Structure formats: structure tokens, C-alpha cells
Structure 1
Amino acid sequence: MASGGRAARLAPVVEMAEKTEKAAAQRLGHFQGQVNLANSKLGDLENFRGEYQAQWVERGSQGVTGQWLRNYQYFLGQLETAVGQQRQSLQWHENNLNKARESWQQAYARVEGLRKLVQRYADEARQLEDKREQKLMDELSQRLPRKEVY
């Protein structure tokens, strides 16, 4: 019975570890969503920049004014800055994702370890109970009068 008690006493610890693991998994999902969003925004900016540069090639072949060229270069510079900032944002979100993944992996490993421990305690308790029952059955069978066979 002592081993079964150990398993039962661990139940609140396991429950708390499971809640921690679930919260870590939710954070992991949140940060994965943030990475996906940042990556999408970066792709959009890079596509827009590519289209804008293609527009330059098309327009440039027709001849441009100095003012148009200055405006183009200014806007392209702003796009480059935006792309750089979005890359930094993506990296920041990826770092958060990696930390969240590590946190979840640790929480998951803890839950799994606790579950195995509880299972081991339950198995030990069952084995002790089986031994007790077997001993009781042996004692009872020894006390019963035996019929002699002639």
C-alpha cells in the first residue's frame, strides 16, 4: 500500500507539470504564429521591392528625369530599411520561438518523467498487492483440512 500511496501523492505534482507543459505548448504555438507572420511580411516586402526594381528597369529604358530618379532612390532606400527591420523582427521572433521550444521540451520531459515514475510506483504497488494476495492464499490453503486420498 505504501507504493500505491507514493503514486497517489505524486498526482498533484503531475497535474501541475501537465499544466506547465500545456502552457509552454501554447506559447510555442503563439511564437510559431508570430514567426510565420513576420516571415510572410518579409516576403511581401521583398516581393514589393522586386516589383519596384523591375519598374525601374522598364521606366529607365524610356528615360527618366533627375527628380524621378531621386524619388526612386529615396523610396528604394526606405524599402531597404523596411526589409532590414523586418529581417530583424523575424530573427527576434525566431529567437523567441527557439526559447519557447526549449521551454516546452523541458516541460514535456518533466511530465513524461513524472508519468513514468507514477507508473513505476503503481506497478510496484500492484506487485506488492499480488504478493500479499498470493501469501494469503498460501496461508489459507495450508489451514484448510486436507482430504486424504486412498
Structure 2
Amino acid sequence: MSQGRAARLAPVIAMAERAEREAAVQLGRVQGQLRQAEVKLGQLEHYRGDYQQQWISEGQRGVSGQWLMNYQRFLAQLETAIGQQRQSVDWHRANLDKVRDTWQQRYARLEGLRKLVQRYLDEARLLEDKREQKLLDELAQRLSSRASS
């Protein structure tokens, strides 16, 4: 009987496995997107550092007013891009947390179902062992009563 219950859960486990696998793939995809966003942010910040170093070098030689205005305008645009990329990184981190939670829930459900099936199989094995022992006991009793008669 318990083996039958375990067998009836096979399609449910297959669906849970599929859902867990899909969530794991999605988790990997989102982790990759976060890494890309962090790399882009790092590149922008590095570029800003290089650009600021250029300001120091050029400033020591003396710069025109036009060069200074262009530098400030470009630096402001760069700061805006960095701010937007930071927001993108924050969004990707939040999304990763959400996707990770989904995967953890699906994984926990799958593990719970697997444990339930194992319990059903253990129960079936125990019942079968008891039946077998009962038959052996009955057989031993019959043999014993025949031998004594």
C-alpha cells in the first residue's frame, strides 16, 4: 500500500524537479546579469579615475576655459552614468534575492516530497518484512507441531 502511495507521487516529484531545475537555471542567469552589471560599474568607475587623473596632468600644464567646461560636462555625464549603473546593480541584487528565494522554496518542496516518498517506501518495506516474518513464524510453528506429532 505504501509503495502505491510512493508511486502515485512520482508525477508530482517529476513536476517539482522540473520546477526546481528551471529555478536553478534562472538563478544562474540572474547571477550572470548581476556580475555583468558590476563589471560595467567597475569599468565606469575606473574610467572616471583615469579621466580625473588626466585632469590632474592637464591642470598642471594649464588648461583653457573651454577645455575645463568640456571636462566638467563630460565628468557630470560620467557621474550620471555611474549613478544609473549603481541603480542597475542594486536592482539586479534585489532580483537575485527574489530569484534565490524562489529557488530555495522549490528546492525545499522537492526535498520534502522526496522525504515523504522515502517514508512511504520505508513503511512498505517494514510491512513486507513483518508479513514475511509472520509467514516464517507460521511455517516454523507448523514444522514444529508436525515434528512433535
Superposed pair shares fold, TM > 0.5: yes
Matching residue of 1:54: 53
- Aligned to 1:147, what secondary structure does the other structure show? helix
Identity in percent: 67
Aligned residue identity for 1:93: H
Matching residue of 2:109: 110
Question: d(CA) in 1 for partners of 2:53 and 2:63?
Answer: 14
Matching residue of 1:38: 37
With normalisation by structure 2, the TM-score equals: 0.96
Tell me, which stretches of 5 or more residues in structure 1 are unaligned?
none
Moved over 6 A (4+): none
Question: d(CA) in 1 for partners of 2:37 and 2:97?
Answer: 15
Matches within 5 A, 1:65-76: 65-76=64-75
* Pairwise CA RMSD: 0.9
Question: d(CA) in 2 for partners of 1:146 and 1:112?
Answer: 52
Question: d(CA) in 1 for partners of 2:9 and 2:139?
Answer: 35
With normalisation by structure 1, the TM-score equals: 0.95
* 1:86-138 deviations in Å (ceiling 9; x for gaps): 00111111111110100000001001111011000000000000000111111
Aligned residue identity for 2:124: A
CA drift of 1:146 comes to 3.6
Matching residue of 1:147: 147
Aligned residue identity for 2:67: W
Question: d(CA) in 2 for partners of 1:146 and 1:110?
Answer: 55
Question: d(CA) in 1 for partners of 2:66 and 2:80?
Answer: 21
- Aligned to 1:77, what secondary structure does the other structure show? helix
CA drift of 1:25 comes to 0.4
CA drift of 1:5 comes to 0.7
Question: d(CA) in 1 for partners of 2:113 and 2:88?
Answer: 37
Aligned residue identity for 1:79: L
- Aligned to 1:43, what secondary structure does the other structure show? helix
CA drift of 1:143 comes to 2.1
Tell me, which stretches of 5 or more residues in structure 2 are unaligned?
none
Instruction: Please state which structure has a larger fraction of its residues in helix.
Output: 2
Aligned residue identity for 2:21: K
Aligned residue identity for 2:137: D
Question: d(CA) in 2 for partners of 1:146 and 1:82?
Answer: 96
Matches within 5 A, 1:1-150: 2-144=1-143, 146-148=146-148
